Structure 1
Amino acid sequence: MKNRKRRDLSYRTKLTSFFLLATAITIIVGLYNYISSRMLMEDMTDLLNKSQELTALYKEVDEIQNDLEVYLSTRSSESLQSFYNHSNSISSDNDILKQDAEYSDRGVRIMNLTGMIEHYLKTLDETIVDKRNRKISDYTKGYQQAVKEYNFIGSYIKEIMSSDLSDSAQRYQEIQTEANNSTVLSYTMFGISFALILVIIVLFSYEITRPITKLSSYAKEVSEGNFEVDITEEGTSSEIRVLYRAFSKMTKSIREYINELKEKERLERVLIQEKYDNLKMKNALHEAELLALQSQVNPHFIFNSINIGAKVAMLQGDSVTCEYLENFADIFRYNLKGLDYNATLSEEVNNVSSYMSLLTTRFGDFVTFHMDIPEDPDILEFKMPRMTLQPLTENAYIHGISKLEEGGRIELKVIKEKGRVVIEVSNSGDHFPKEAIERILGRSKKVEKSHGQKGHTTGIGMDNVLKRLRLFYDKKDVMNIVSKDGVTKVILLLPINNKREVDNNQYENAI
């Protein structure tokens, strides 16, 4: 648990701890150097101060002795004032020496010296008093005693200073040795602290760089496409652990996303293949159906057309016969192209024109035909299933005009409106029952098998035309039938932009 807690420390905490440790080591080394130097300096200062105190004391004693001699000789007030000043100064220095005296050989000497000085100052005071009282014999004896004590004090001070000098030389050597030892120890502590800090820096750097280097190797493998890399978590700190976990989670997410993309791509390929197979099957079925419809060309129509052409050739001139046979040849040739070949509206209109020419030639004024086709390239080049308009005009004749005794009129009209082409085939004749319209348009659930509205020329009925249009345009509402006031209209509502054709092109380009 303790190790776990240590591993959870952040790099900020570790850096702060390292900085504080390095600072503490530096402060300890600096304090040691400062204290050692301070102690050595204090020792040296103490030696100098002791020597200086004795020197100053000796000088004061010499000056006060000189003041005494001047006063005894001249009775000068200035020398007397100087005497008392020096006396006070010597007393003060003597008290300091007495307080600082230690229980040592030098301390005993200092105590003796302070006693001598006190007695010397007392002798001087008494001599001054005798001088002022004009006691010549007394102050003469006092002066002689003062000279003796002065000489003795001077000798004693010199002896102490000589001993101090000898002790100072020895102490100086000791201080020098201590200073050298302190310097060596300081350098040693500095070296140890520097080595310790360096080791800590190296270990800390390794602790930081090792997991990062390992994480970068994982990142390199992932960048090369290996998303199955096994990421082992390095928990040297909370920050590194977060990085490892985030990278592992990111890698796992990318791996799952790539697997999803691969699976989606596989399913799309399967779906496209299924669509392609279904389209091929549907095209094959449509082709079979269209070929079956194409094969139902009524042979009686061909026979009757040729027979009429022969009779016309006998009764009329060659020009009429030629025109009739050319129209018949155009129709026959148009049928032979097959229903799987899409045509333009212009081609469909020409085929209807040829067919109606045959009818008007055969039945004369019994049938009249009128076309209203605008000269618009978008309309004339409009794509539509082959054999769409001719079966409608044929049904208009068979189920409309042929039942009338006086004949009738068939019209073909084309207009363009709101993104679509509207084709209207109308005929005069009997009323078209509403039930039949519902059955043809598929709006009624009731289906009569016998009801096909087939044409006798092509065998293609309106239900087949409607089925082909819905399949071609992928749209249900492509036809409408209106019958009223003795006129029946078959209206085709065909979109200009054929969605089925666009989807087929996109699908073929994708494949």
Structure 2
Amino acid sequence: MNQKNRFRISNSLRAKLFYYSIFSMSFTMVSFGIILILSLSLQDIADKRFEDEQSLHVLQEQLDGIQEPIESYLGFYSSSSLAQLLYTAETIKDILPDKRIIIDDESELLKREIYYLIDSYLIQMNQVIEMKRGRNVPGYTQGFEDLFILYNYITDKINEVSLKGFRSQLGEYRSFLELFRAIQMYSLILIVLILAFSFSLLMKNVNTISYPIHQLSLMAGKISAGDFDMEDIQFDSVDEINHVASAFNEMKNSISHYINELKKQKDIEQQMMAERVRNLNMEQLLKRMELYTMQAQMNPHFLFNTINTGVQLAIVEEAEKTADFMENLAALFRYNIREKKFFVPLRHEYEGLRSYFNILRIRFPKTLHLELNINEELLDDFSCPAMVLQPIVENSVLHAFKSKEGIGTISVSIEYNHPLLQISVKDDGIGIPPKTVKALLTPHTHDYQLSSKVMGLENVIQRCYFFYPDEKDVVEIHSEIGRGTDIIININTEVKPCIEL
């Protein structure tokens, strides 16, 4: 087995040495390739210079070919000279490149100038031909002289560009030769360095086995000490060492994953225990609320029947206001008896509040002004916690106007601003002290003992917190001393209450 392992290790090292040799040879070939590319580039520069000179030479020959036909045409009115002249002009136009291409090279700009001069020459030549046809002797005579001057100027320009191009070519060629010699030297140095590098790699492979094994032993010691946060071991070594490192990483990650799963399971169990405790607290609070509700009903059926008897008696005695008062009281009491659910349609809450408003108008005809601003289209579309409006209004009646003179105003409004259904009870009373507001808006735990005013404002707020434990702004109180109070219940219609019975 040891002989087999030694064979595999030796084979892996031999493979790496083979790849290193290929790598060195590749670099050497690249160096020779660079030299070849530079040689071809030098040839391209020479070819380009020759093409430029050839194009200018062809233009010069064509311009030279125009001079004799134009002299013959102007002197003898020869039709064959005119045909040769027009043919040569068209040939020159075909040779000229596109002058719309934007360039910024100096030599190209000089050639572009020559092209424009030739264009001007051809245009002026056509004008001279037209003046000859029109027998304008002074005109075509002067035009011919101008053409001759322009011809000489173009010839000088072509010679100037050729000379500059030749000088530029000599400079480029000299620079290129210097670069070529430098690259030859660098290539030779690179080859020597590659050979030295290959030899150093051979020596380096001695450490490719001992160093990884040493690192593996250190990491194993850390794992035995319980440290699983270290990064995975990664070696660029022979295959056998890489396989050992990969197996070591898998073992470390598996143990770490198992420990993390145990921690997650423990966290889940703690969360489930907390949820169970919360459910028990909810059940206890529900039972307590049911007890308070039963205590507050005070034999409701007997009281309801007694109120109906009072209504009948008032009708017999023709006491209409008393009858209205008793009917509204009976309607309000009927609502209180009927609503056994925690959530009711908004219309039920509205009808109960309207009956309560009618009772208040009879009780306080001159000292209390009541406003009910509700969009009735909302009443059949939404639900709300039962018995929230009347207790808040009753709290305002009992406490908001104790020391205030004049007429007090209580305004109730219901609006829908997606996704919030906003129920507002606003008064212009004496206001609530900030300390009291803070106490009212503090959610109470299951150990909190409800006061005797269990069906009042405090109870409404705590029930809202109970139904919407994750909505911190389900109740808002905006109050200023001496100016009034605005109590707002924000029901998020996209969030289900924790209890919907």
* TM-score strictly above 0.5: no
TM, length-normalised to structure 1:
0.42
Tell which structure's C-alpha radius of gyration is larger. 1
Q: TM-score, normalised by structure 2?
A: 0.43
